[in-house]
């Protein structure tokens, strides 16, 4: 079985709408806000301020360099990978994903109660549908 990208409901209705027009669409703003929040919490877990030093990149336009601090901090930082984060499943990560999943489901017209394994074809990839321990 092949899964394609799910087109956003408002995109199907107005395919010629320019990207800038989405900037004021509350659904797009909600999704963008939830994505930014998810990225922020993941970044804060992987590179916390007490374990890394941020140095400006020498080439303009590139992100700052993230360097591990010496000693115990460097050893602890090596353990902070996305794989370990996703295996640990902390509650804050699940809450961030749930908010994003609900925003995307709202765009498609799926209610939160309808998000189950048979609700949509992307359910195996949707964290809100994943079984919890």
Which of 131, 125, 99, 128 is closest to 115 using CA atoms?
128
Reported pTM: 0.68
| Cα distance between residue 29 and residue 40, in whole Å | 16
| Cα distance between residue 82 and residue 85, in whole Å | 5
Domain boundaries, the chain: 20-125
| Cα distance between residue 82 and residue 129, in whole Å | 20
What pLDDT score does 64 carry? 92
pLDDT in tens, 32-88: 999 999 999 999 999 999 999 999 999 989 999 998 888 888 889 889 999 999 899
What pLDDT score does 24 carry? 83
What pLDDT score does 35 carry? 93
Crossing angle of helices 91-108 and 26-46, rounded to 10°: 160
pLDDT in tens, 91-113: 999 999 999 988 888 888 877 66
Give me the helices (H) in 24-71, please: 26-46
pLDDT in tens, 31-43: 999 999 999 999 9
């Amino acid at each position: 079985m092949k899964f394609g990208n799910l087109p956003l409901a408002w995109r199907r209705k107005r395919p010629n709408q320019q990207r800038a027009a989405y900037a004021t669409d509350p659904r797009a703003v909600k999704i963008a806000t939830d994505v930014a929040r998810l990225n922020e919490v993941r970044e804060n877990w992987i590179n916390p301020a007490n374990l890394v030093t941020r140095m400006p990149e020498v080439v303009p336009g590139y992100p700052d360099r993230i360097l591990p601090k010496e000693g115990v901090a460097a050893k602890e930082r090596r353990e902070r990978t996305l794989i370990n984060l996703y295996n640990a499943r902390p509650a804050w990560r699940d809450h961030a994903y749930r908010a994003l999943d609900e925003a995307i489901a709202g765009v498609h017209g799926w209610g939160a109660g309808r998000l189950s394994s048979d609700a949509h074809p992307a359910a195996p990839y949707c964290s809100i549908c994943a079984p919890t321990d």
